Amino acid sequence: MALPQATQSLAKIFRYSDYLKLPDDGNLYEILKGKLIVRTAPNRAHQRCSIRLSVILSLHVTQHELGEIYTAPFDVILDPENSDPEILVKPDLLFVSTEHLQIITENNVRGSPDLIVEILSPSTANDDRDRKFKIYQEMKVLHYWIIDPTAQALEEYVWQSGSYHRCAFHVEHEEFHPSLFPKLAISLEELWS
């Protein structure tokens, strides 16, 4: 007996328990609303930007005892109340303030970090700007930065009144003063050069 057409087209909902069974094969796996996403290693411009920004943020956060910075790959389970969540992300950088350090476990972050940074690559740009943007907004990640090394641009979004509002857009050699870190000034030229 053939299955009805609608039943045949149903895709498997991927969950965290499925993720834990995946092989350690060098790929980066994420789950976005039940869909398994497989990513390869990022390109040189992405990595250079990620390393430089992580050093800048880590030094500032450590010096001022503000919390902790982590870089990819580090699992973030945005819906920790769900026993088998359908969302698992590995942001390029994340920050958890001292007030929220209890969400960090030995293996992952279980809850919304104070800041998530995604650095665009050709293969991830659409997800970072669309699907992940919506997920981070829905899960109330308070600060979201999108960095485009190719366009040499940085966008800062802040969660207010139920949605993201872009509060900064900087390009090329401008200086970025993040709302989350009022004492920090980031020369974007340091990220690109």
Q: What is the DSSP string of 111-139?
A: S--SEEEEE--TTTHHHHHTHHHHHHHHT
| CB neighbourhood size of 143 (10 A) | 21
CA distance 110 to 85: 11
pLDDT of 113 reads 98
Low-confidence ranges of the chain (pLDDT < 50): 1-9
Sequence-distant (≥ 6) Cβ neighbours of residue 15 within 8 angstroms: 31, 34, 84, 85, 86
Q: What's the whole-number average pLDDT of the chain? A: 91
80: Cβ contacts below 8 Å, ≥ 6 apart: 103, 110, 111
- The label of the residue with tokens 């698992």 reads 88
Residue type for position 137: Q
pTM exceeding 0.85: yes
Question: Helix (H, G, I), strand (E, B), or coil: what is residue 40?
Answer: coil
Pick the CATH number of 42-192 from 3.40.190.170, 3.40.190.10, 3.90.1570.10, 3.40.50.2300: 3.90.1570.10
Residue matched to tokens 């669309």? 130
